[in-house]
Amino acid sequence: MGSILDAIADWLKELLISGIMGNLTGVFDSVNSRVGEIAADVGMTPANFSPGIFSMIRNVSETVILPIAGLILTFIACYELIQQLIIEHNNLANFETWIIFKWIFKTFVAVTLISNCFNIVMAVFDVCQNVISRSGGIIGASTAVSDSAIAAMEATLETYGVGTLLGIYLMSFVIQLTLWILSIVIFVIVYGRMIEIYLMTSLAPIPLSTFGSREQSQTGQNYLRSLFALGFQGFLIIICVGIYAVLIQSISFTSDIVGSLWGVVGYTVLLVFTLFKTGGLARSVLNAH
């Protein structure tokens, strides 16, 4: 009778261990692949990330937004001419010819800016992409729960009794759901940043058209700071992934399985929290609002 019970217990242990490893291996693979793709995703320029979307955004911007920017630039140019010739120089009483040349130069620069707004925007993200690529090569740590750690976890599970394994098996469902949700959140954060970049890019001609005015040029300056903030947000995301990689590699599955599993969940939650903070941090550093 005892041998039968032992055989049933061994069978239950094998079944529970197989179920636990199946639950956790699949969800680890999902999170590992999503985190591992972050560096590649944030290192892409808008044109490389989705050429189809970028082409559509550029076409809409040049067709719809650029004429509006032209009207704004015309108004600003006329206002600047009136301001310089009439208001500041006593109705042409103190007129000097260099004022006209100064106005022509400012207007020429403003027209050049809105005519090449997409080149300017792409230059910003090319600089940021170069920084991200170089930092990704330096960090370069694995963000995955390694195969050796999973093997060590399986070996440790084999030393537990049926009751403990049953509790871990039930807990694995909660961890599986939690990490699955977190992988979706990571996806939303990374791709949401790219959507924000496309939205910002589509309106580029309007803020760049304000550089011809001393009073309104703050709009264009803040727009450029916002572009750099979006670009360098990718750099901060890479730093977060590097920190996450170091923390994950420090987890040991050879002693406390439950604590180690919740440690993975905790570090992943920490990663998601810091990813949410990167946008605001980049804007605050560059004084963009």
Inside any domain, residue 98: no
Inside any domain, residue 96: no
Query: In which band, very low, low, confident or very high, does the pLDDT at 253 lie, cut at 50, 70 and 90?
Result: low
What span, in angstroms and rounded, lies between the C-alpha atoms of 120 and 254? 53
Show the domain range for 261.
2-62+116-285
pLDDT of residue 240: 83
The whole-chain average pLDDT of the chain stands at: 78
pLDDT of residue 159: 74
Buried b (16+ CB within 10 A) or exposed e, 126-135: eebbeebeeb
Inside any domain, residue 72: no
Q: What's the CA angle centered on 288, arms 286 and 289, to 5 degrees?
A: 155
Q: Dump pLDDT digits (tens) for 119-164.
A: 888 888 888 888 887 776 655 555 556 666 667 777 777 777 777 7
Q: What's the CA angle centered on 67, arms 102 and 103, to 5 degrees?
A: 5
pLDDT of residue 255: 67
Distances from the Cα of 14 to the Cαs of 1, 85, 161, 165, in angstroms?
20, 89, 11, 10
**Range 188-206 average pLDDT:** 88
pLDDT of residue 31: 65
Q: Dump pLDDT digits (tens) for 47-72.
A: 888 888 888 988 988 888 888 888 88
Q: In total, how many domains does the chain have?
A: 1
Burial of residue 46 (number of CB atoms within 10 Å: 0-12, 13-18, 19+): buried
pTM tops 0.85: no
Query: In which band, very low, low, confident or very high, does the pLDDT at 87 lie, cut at 50, 70 and 90?
Result: low
Query: In which band, very low, low, confident or very high, does the pLDDT at 85 lie, cut at 50, 70 and 90?
Result: low
Residue 265 and residue 179 in contact, taking contact as beta carbons nearer than 8 Å: yes
What span, in angstroms and rounded, lies between the C-alpha atoms of 81 and 104? 9
pLDDT of residue 35: 67
Between 232 and 42, residue with greater pLDDT: 232
Inside any domain, residue 275: yes
Inside any domain, residue 88: no
pLDDT of residue 252: 67
- Residue 175 neighbours by CB distance under 10 Å: 21
Inside any domain, residue 78: no
Task: Kindly state the DSSP code that residue 142 receives in the 8-state scheme.
Answer: -
pLDDT of residue 144: 58
**Range 231-247 average pLDDT:** 83
Inside any domain, residue 89: no
Query: In which band, very low, low, confident or very high, does the pLDDT at 26 lie, cut at 50, 70 and 90?
Result: low
What span, in angstroms and rounded, lies between the C-alpha atoms of 80 and 102? 11
